[in-house]
C-alpha cells in the first residue's frame, strides 16, 4: 500500500476532484480572465475565439480520477493514452492539479498565477491546442487524427512488464478502421514479458453531429463483439459512475495481475483474455442542460462549445456563468491553489500519470548494440556488377545479429504486414520467431512463439501504431512494408512527424527518441507480375513534404550500401527514416568500405564507371536499385556505341543530399554539389519514383534547366521488367538515347567553327546511333509476348567494366 491513505469518503473526494478538473477545463475553453469567477462574469471575460471541445471532457476527468485512485491504492504504474479527439482541456486540467504541468513549465505552476496562465493560454495563439500535443506531460499520442490510440498503446506495453497502458477510446474513434484491427493486438501481447493494455471504450453517444454506432449497440451486443475479439468487457453505467468505475478498475487490475502472475509462473492460459471497460456517460455531462429551448447535455450539441455566443449574447453568458458556478470553485480552490483535500487524489512523484517515465521515452532509451558491418559485407573485389546478391537477404542477416546482440535488453522489434519472409528478411527467424499468443495449428507452432519479437499482421495501421508506441517509450524497431501499400499510413506518419517537430520545438524537456524506420520493399519496378496496382512510389513525395530536418529518404543501390544505411538508421534519433530497397539478387557495385563512405556523403561520382577525365560532356545520375542498373547499362551502351562522348556517372543514395544545406543538414553546398554534377553540363537523372521528387530537391540550384529527370510516369500493367521500364521511358536504351542527344547539344555548343560560329553537330553519327538503340530496344520488346519473359541478354546482363 501507498503511504498515502484512502480518505474516509472516497466517493466525495472523487466527486470533488472531478468538479475541480471539469471547472478548469470549462474555464479554459471560455475564459481569458476572471478565471475563478471572483467577480460577476462579463462579456469581455470571454475569449474572442472559442475553439475547444467540451463534450468528451467530463468522461476523461471521470477516468483520470478513477485511475488516480487505483494508482494510489495499488501503486500501479499507469501510462494514459487519450485517443478521443480534442480532449486536451481534461488532460491539462489534471496535469495542473497533479503538478506535472508546472514541473515542465513553471508558467503553469500549481498556484493562482499558473492557473490564470493555463486558462488564458488554452486555444490561444501560441498556447495549447484543443487536442493533445507533445507539450502536454504524459502524452505519447496526440489524438489529432482518430484511430491510432489503441495500437500505439500496445506498442508502449510491449516489453514493459510492470506497465499498464490505460487507453481511452472514444466511441467515435472506435468507428475507424485502424481501431477495429487494433482490438486484435491482444493476440500479440505476452503476459509473461510485457505490460498490459486496458482499453476504456467511452460511449457518450455522439460524434460532432451524429449518434455513434457503439451507442446504438446493447450491452449484450457489445459483450458478444468484444468477447469475440478475446476481451472480457466490464460495463460502467448508472447514477454512481465513480463507484461503478472504481469497481470495474479494481476488477480489471486484479484480472491483469492474475493473468501476468500465472504466465510468469509457468501457468500461461491457452487464450489470454484481458479485461476492458465499456463506460457509458452522458455527452457533456455536468454541463449546460438546455439552452435556447434545445437540449444540450446528453446530445451532440454539447460536443464542441455550448453557449458559443457568450461574448455577445446575454442569455448565453448567463447560462455559462450558471454552469461554471455549479462546480463551486470557491470550495475547490484556495487562493488559486487546489484545496488540500483534492491532493489526496494525486499520486506521488513518477506515479502521477503526467510524470510516467515512459511518456518521455528518450530518457529511457539505450542505444542498440550493432553488428560489425564487415561481417555482413558482400565481397565485390574486381567484379563490380558481376557479383549478384540480395540487399534484403544481407539486411536480414544483419538484423538477426541485432536481435542476438540485444537479447538481454529486449528493446528491438520488427513489425510487418506478413512480408518479412516474402521480402527475404527471413534470416531474422534464426534469432526470434513470430509473436503470437493464441493457439496455432501444429504446422505453425514451430514458427511462432509467445515471446517472439517479429510481429506480423495484415494491417499497416497496426504496425505503424505498434512501432510508434514502442519507439516513443524508449525502444527501437523496423517496419518493412510493400512499397505500394505504405501510403495507407500516410496520415499516421504525418501525425507522428508533427509530434516529433513539436517535441523538438515546443517541448524541449522531451529527450529525442530512436528513429522510426520504414523499409519499403517489393518495389514497383519488380512488381510487374502483380500489375499496375502494385506500382506506386509516391510515398517518397509524401516524406519530402514533412518538416525537412525530421525526414530522411535513402535509396541504397546494392547490398553493402543497404547494410550501411540500416546501421545508420538504427543509430539515429528524432527522425523518420524511409529506406527503399529491392529484395531480388541484383548486381553489386561497392565494397563495404566504399559503401560506408558513399552513404556518409549521400552521393558520389563512381570514377570506375566514368570516362570523363574530369570534364564530362554529359552526367548520368541515378537513385534506386533498378534505376542504377539501367543508368549504368546506359553508360555502358554509350561507351561502346559513342566512345567519343565523355560520360560521368553519379549515384545518389541520400535524396536530401541534393538539397541545399540551408534546407536540410544532409544537403551539399553548391561547391560540393558541382564537384559531382559540374556547373553547367547536362544531367540525365534516372529516378526510382516520380520525377517531381528530384526536382523538388533541386529547387534553387543554379541552372536547374540542365537537369532532365526520368522516373515513374504512371504507366504500368502486368508485364515484364523491361517492358515496364520502357513504358515509363527509363529503360537503358531510352536513357542512352536521351543522354546522347543532350551530350551532342552540349558538345556542339562548346565547339567553335573556323568562322567563329558554333558547329551544328558534335557527333556526326548521332542519328544513326539513336536509330540503332531504338531499334534494338524495340526488337527486344517484340520478343516478350511470345516468350513470356525478358530476353536472356536483359536477364543475364552484367557490367563489363
**CA 15 – CA 9 distance, rounded (Å):** 10
Mean pLDDT calculated for residue range 358-378: 98
Whole-prediction pTM: 0.95
Q: Which residues contact 666 (CB under 8 A, 6 or more apart)?
A: 552, 602, 654, 656, 657, 659
The predicted pLDDT at position 531 comes to: 85
Helix (H, G, I), strand (E, B) or coil at 243: helix
Q: Please check the confidence at residue 574 and state whether its pLDDT lies above 60.
A: yes
Helix (H, G, I), strand (E, B) or coil at 286: coil
Please indicate whether the domains covering 10-345 and 373-587 agree at the CATH topology level: yes
The predicted pLDDT at position 752 comes to: 66
For 119, the grid coordinates are 486558462
Helix (H, G, I), strand (E, B) or coil at 519: strand
Helix (H, G, I), strand (E, B) or coil at 91: helix
Q: For the CA atoms of the chain, what is the radius of gyration?
A: 31
Q: Which residues contact 253 (CB under 8 A, 6 or more apart)?
A: 70, 74, 76, 164
The predicted pLDDT at position 486 comes to: 95
The predicted pLDDT at position 443 comes to: 86
Q: Please check the confidence at residue 524 and state whether its pLDDT lies above 90.
A: no
Give tens-digit pLDDT for 390-445. Answer: 999 999 999 999 999 999 999 999 999 988 999 999 999 999 999 999 999 888 88
Q: Please check the confidence at residue 758 and state whether its pLDDT lies above 60.
A: no
Residue 382 burial (CB < 10 Å; 0-12/13-18/19+)?
A: exposed
Mean pLDDT calculated for residue range 277-293: 97
In Å, what is the CA distance from 370 to each residue of 399, 400, 559, 595, 699?
9, 10, 17, 17, 37
Mean pLDDT calculated for residue range 246-274: 97
The predicted pLDDT at position 86 comes to: 85
Alpha-carbon torsion 688, 689, 690, 694, what sign? negative
User: Please, are residues 781 and 723 in contact by the beta-carbon 8 Å criterion?
Assistant: yes
For 316-327, b/e burial (b = at least 16 CB within 10 A) is bbebbbebbeeb
Give tens-digit pLDDT for 443-499. Answer: 888 899 999 999 999 999 999 999 999 999 999 999 999 999 999 999 999 999 999
Q: Please check the confidence at residue 678 and state whether its pLDDT lies above 90.
A: yes
User: Please, are residues 361 and 500 in contact by the beta-carbon 8 Å criterion?
Assistant: no
CATH of 373-587, one of 3.30.565.10, 3.10.580.10, 3.40.50.970, 2.60.120.580: 3.40.50.970
Residue 726 burial (CB < 10 Å; 0-12/13-18/19+)?
A: buried
- What is the CATH superfamily name and number for domain 10-345? Thiamin diphosphate (ThDP)-binding fold, Pyr/PP domains (3.40.50.970)
The predicted pLDDT at position 381 comes to: 87
pLDDT band at residue 85 using 50, 70 and 90 as cut-offs: confident
CATH of 602-795, one of 3.40.50.920, 3.30.1490.20, 3.40.1010.20, 3.40.50.300: 3.40.50.920
**CA 164 – CA 184 distance, rounded (Å):** 18
Boundaries of every domain in the chain: 10-345, 373-587, 602-795
**CA 111 – CA 334 distance, rounded (Å):** 9
Q: Please check the confidence at residue 1 and state whether its pLDDT lies above 90.
A: no
Q: Please check the confidence at residue 43 and state whether its pLDDT lies above 50.
A: yes
Residue 634 burial (CB < 10 Å; 0-12/13-18/19+)?
A: buried
**CA 325 – CA 307 distance, rounded (Å):** 15
Helix (H, G, I), strand (E, B) or coil at 357: helix
The predicted pLDDT at position 7 comes to: 39
**CA 268 – CA 663 distance, rounded (Å):** 54
Amino acid at each position: 500500500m501507498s503511504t498515502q491513505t484512502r480518505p474516509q469518503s472516497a466517493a466525495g473526494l472523487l466527486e470533488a476532484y472531478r468538479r475541480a478538473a471539469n471547472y478548469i477545463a470549462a474555464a479554459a475553453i471560455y475564459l481569458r480572465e476572471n478565471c475563478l469567477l471572483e467577480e460577476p462574469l462579463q462579456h469581455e471575460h470571454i475569449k474572442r475565439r472559442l475553439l475547444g471541445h467540451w463534450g468528451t471532457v467530463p468522461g476523461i476527468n471521470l477516468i483520470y480520477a478513477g485511475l488516480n485512485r487505483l494508482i494510489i491504492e495499488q501503486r500501479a504504474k499507469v501510462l494514459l493514452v487519450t485517443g478521443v479527439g480534442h480532449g486536451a482541456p481534461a488532460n491539462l486540467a489534471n496535469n495542473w492539479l497533479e503538478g506535472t504541468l508546472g514541473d515542465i513549465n513553471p508558467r503553469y505552476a500549481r498556484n493562482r498565477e499558473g492557473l490564470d496562465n493555463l486558462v488564458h493560454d488554452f486555444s490561444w495563439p501560441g498556447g495549447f491546442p484543443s487536442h493533445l500535443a507533445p507539450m502536454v506531460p504524459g502524452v505519447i499520442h496526440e489524438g489529432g487524427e482518430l484511430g491510432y490510440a489503441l495500437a500505439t498503446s500496445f506498442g508502449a506495453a510491449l516489453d514493459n512488464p510492470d506497465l499498464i497502458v490505460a487507453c481511452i477510446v472514444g466511441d467515435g474513434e472506435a468507428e475507424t478502421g485502424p481501431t477495429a484491427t487494433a482490438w486484435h493486438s491482444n493476440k500479440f501481447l505476452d503476459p509473461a514479458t510485457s505490460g498490459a493494455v486496458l482499453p476504456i471504450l467511452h460511449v457518450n453517444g455522439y460524434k460532432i453531429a451524429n449518434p455513434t454506432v457503439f451507442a446504438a449497440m446493447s450491452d449484450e451486443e457489445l459483450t458478444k463483439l468484444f468477447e469475440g475479439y478475446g476481451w472480457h468487457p466490464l460495463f460502467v453505467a448508472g447514477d454512481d459512475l465513480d463507484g461503478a468505475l472504481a469497481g470495474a478498475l479494481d476488477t480489471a487490475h486484479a484480472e491483469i495481475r492474475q493473468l501476468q502472475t500465472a504466465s510468469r509462473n509457468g501457468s500461461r492460459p491457452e487464450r489470454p483474455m484481458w479485461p476492458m471497460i465499456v463506460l457509458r456517460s452522458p455527452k457533456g455531462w455536468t454541463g449546460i442542460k438546455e439552452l435556447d429551448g434545445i437540449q444540450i447535455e446528453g446530445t451532440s450539441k454539447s460536443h464542441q462549445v455550448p453557449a458559443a455566443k457568450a461574448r455577445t449574447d446575454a442569455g448565453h453568458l448567463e447560462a455559462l456563468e450558471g454552469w461554471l458556478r455549479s462546480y463551486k470553485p470557491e470550495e475547490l480552490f484556495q487562493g488559486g491553489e487546489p484545496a488540500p483535500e483534492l491532493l489526496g487524489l494525486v499520486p506521488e512523484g513518477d506515479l502521477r500519470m503526467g510524470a510516467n517515465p515512459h511518456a518521455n521515452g528518450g530518457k529511457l532509451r539505450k542505444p542498440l548494440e550493432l553488428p560489425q558491418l564487415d561481417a555482413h559485407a558482400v565481397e565485390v573485389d574486381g567484379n563490380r556488377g558481376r557479383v549478384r546478391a540480395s540487399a534484403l537477404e544481407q539486411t536480414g542477416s544483419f538484423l538477426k545479429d541485432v536481435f542476438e546482440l540485444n537479447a538481454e535488453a529486449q528493446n528491438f522489434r520488427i513489425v510487418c504486414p506478413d512480408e518479412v519472409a516474402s521480402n527475404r528478411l527471413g534470416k531474422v527467424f534464426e534469432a526470434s520467431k513470430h509473436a503470437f499468443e493464441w493457439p496455432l495449428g501444429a504446422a505453425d507452432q514451430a514458427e511462432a512463439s509467445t515471446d517472439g519479437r517479429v510481429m506480423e499482421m495484415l494491417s499497416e495501421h497496426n504496425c505503424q501504431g505498434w512501432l510508434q508506441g514502442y519507439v516513443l517509450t524508449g525502444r527501437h524497431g523496423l517496419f518493412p512494408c510493400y512499397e505500394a501499400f505504405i501510403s495507407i499510413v500516410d496520415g499516421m506518419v504525418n501525425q507522428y512527424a508533427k509530434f516529433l517537430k513539436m517535441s523538438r520545438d515546443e517541448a524541449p524537456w522531451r529527450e529525442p527518441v530512436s528513429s522510426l524506420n520504414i523499409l519499403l520493399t517489393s518495389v514497383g519496378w519488380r512488381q510487374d507480375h502483380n500489375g499496375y496496382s502494385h506500382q506506386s512510389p509516391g510515398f517518397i513525395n509524401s516524406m519530402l513534404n514533412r518538416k525537412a530536418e525530421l525526414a530522411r529518404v535513402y535509396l541504397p543501390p546494392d547490398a553493402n550500401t543497404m547494410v550501411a544505411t540500416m546501421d545508420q538508421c538504427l543509430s539515429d534519433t528524432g527522425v523518420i527514416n524511409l529506406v527503399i530497397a529491392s529484395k531480388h539478387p541484383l548486381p553489386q557495385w561497392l565494397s563495404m568500405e566504399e559503401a560506408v563512405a558513399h552513404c556518409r556523403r549521400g552521393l558520389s561520382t563512381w570514377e570506375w564507371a566514368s570516362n570523363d577525365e574530369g570534364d564530362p560532356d554529359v552526367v548520368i545520375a541515378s537513385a534506386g536499385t533498378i534505376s542504377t542498373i539501367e543508368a549504368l547499362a546506359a553508360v555502358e551502351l554509350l561507351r561502346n556505341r559513342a566512345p567519343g562522348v565523355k560520360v560521368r556517372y553519379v549515384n545518389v543514395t541520400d535524396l536530401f543530399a541534393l538539397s541545399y544545406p540551408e534546407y536540410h543538414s544532409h544537403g551539399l553546398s553548391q561547391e560540393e554539389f558541382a564537384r559531382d554534377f559540374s556547373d553547367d553540363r547536362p544531367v540525365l537523372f534516372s529516378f526510382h519514383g516520380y520525377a517531381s521528387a528530384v526536382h523538388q530537391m533541386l529547387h534553387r540550384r543554379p541552372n536547374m534547366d540542365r537537369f532532365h529527370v526520368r522516373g515513374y510516369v504512371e504507366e504500368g500493367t502486368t508485364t515484364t521488367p523491361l517492358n515496364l521500364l520502357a513504358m515509363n521511358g527509363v529503360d537503358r536504351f531510352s536513357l542512352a538515347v536521351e543522354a546522347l542527344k543532350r551530350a551532342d547539344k552540349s558538345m556542339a555548343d562548346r565547339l567553335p567553327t573556323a568562322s567563329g560560329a558554333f558547329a551544328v553537330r558534335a557527333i556526326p553519327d548521332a542519328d544513326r546511333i539513336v536509330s540503332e538503340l531504338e531499334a534494338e530496344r524495340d526488337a527486344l520488346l517484340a520478343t516478350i509476348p511470345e516468350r513470356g519473359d525478358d530476353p536472356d541478354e536483359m536477364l543475364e546482363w552484367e557490367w563489363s567494366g
